[in-house]
Amino acid sequence: MSSSLAARRKPGSLTRSNRSGWGFAAPFLVFFLVFLVWPLLYGLYMSLTGKSLTGANDSLIGFANYAEALADAGMWRSLGNTLYFTVISTVPLVLVALVMAALLNVGLPAQWLWRLSYFAPYLLASTVVSLFFTWMYNPQLGLINDALSKIGIPKVAWLNDPNVAMWAIVIATLWWTVGFNFLLYLAAMQNIPHQHYEAASLDGAGAWRQFFSITLPQLTPTTVMIVLLQILASLKIFDQVYQMTAGGPGGSTRPVVQYIFETGFTGYRLGYSAAISYIFFGLIVLVSVMQFAITRRRSA
């Protein structure tokens, strides 16, 4: 296709294309270099220094920050919290989204109404979600404990009980973001060709059977993508925890991003904080590489 264009090129037009190519790319590149590449590299440099917000010790100290981080129980605990949240949040965030999409895909009337109610929370800022749920989780005045007491379940100290707090965060997160996965599933379901279902119903397969033998297998690539994207999103958890429990009670919900934030901005230790950022980055790269490998194999 492009050969017809290329054939008409005058000599020297590659230099002209070089110029216009980089010209079109330039505005993006400037922002990209200044606000992504540079901080990424500078962060790496910072992680090798004792830099602090108070200005002390700018000198290179090698891998001392990394050595300290690897021996830091607080870092490991926050990393553990992040992983724990990722595991227990990903499952419901994918399953509930699938159920929601499957229900709508039956061909319910008033599609917009269901979409609106399932997806609307996704449009909220984290702080709005946190205000809503902190209020509903209130041990004495909260709606949830009130409802539980009506069916004879004793009061739960949702955000103040170290054994429950993370689950409380998961429930709020599920409510908040499941609508996004739901939309991805719904779009994928609507792309499954009708002929598959027609053939199946001629063979006498019921709706339930069709779901398991047609819909679900056809959705496998989507499911893989949603699970991986959800894992990457869950690993970055910070907002709702910081706002609802501030990492407590007793550090039982503090995620690694909050640990980075606190070491840097409360503890003023920018260099150390940058080192923990890079350990976290390593984890994200690991998951991303796995994602890449899996999707590559699928498409190959």
Site for another protein in 73-92 (CB under 8 A): 92
Which is nearest to 237 in space by CA: 262, 254, 225? Answer: 254
* Per CB under 8 A, 229 contacts another protein: yes
Contact between 92 and 170 (Cβ < 8 Å)? yes
**Distances from the Cα of 199 to the Cα of 108, 153, 219, 225, angstroms:** 22, 49, 18, 28
Helices 165-190, 126-136: axis angle to 10 degrees equals 130
Q: How far is the CB of 144 from another protein (least distance, A)?
A: 9
Cα(86)–Cα(169) distance, rounded to whole angstroms?
A: 11
Q: Looking at beta carbons, which pairs linking 276-280 to residues 24 or more positions away fall under 8 Å?
A: 276/69, 276/75, 277/43, 277/47, 278/43, 278/44, 278/47, 278/66, 279/66, 279/69, 279/70, 279/75, 279/79, 280/79, 280/256
Q: Which of 61, 64, 124, 157 binds another protein (CB under 8 A)?
A: 124
Stretch that binds another protein, among 62-70, 71-79, 157-165, 224-232 (CB under 8 A): 224-232
- Asked if 106 is part of the footprint of another protein (rule: CB under 8 A), the reply reads yes
Per rule CB under 8 A, is residue 56 in the interface with another protein? no
Stretch that binds another protein, among 57-65, 68-76, 114-122, 151-159 (CB under 8 A): 114-122
Among 69, 89, 238, 241, binds another protein (CB under 8 A): 238
Restricted to residues 163-182, the positions that interact with another protein (CB under 8 A) are: 171, 175, 180
Q: How far is residue 197's CA from residue 212's CA, in Å, rounded to a whole number?
A: 12
Dig out the tokens for 278 from the structure: 């890079």
20 part of the interface to another protein, by CB under 8 A = yes
Contact call for residue 195 and another protein (CB under 8 A): no
Residue list 127-166, contact with another protein (CB under 8 A): 127-128, 131-136, 140-141, 143, 146
Q: How far is the CB of 119 from another protein (least distance, A)?
A: 7
104 is an interface residue for another protein by CB under 8 A? yes
Q: Least CB distance from residue 162 to another protein, whole Å? A: 21
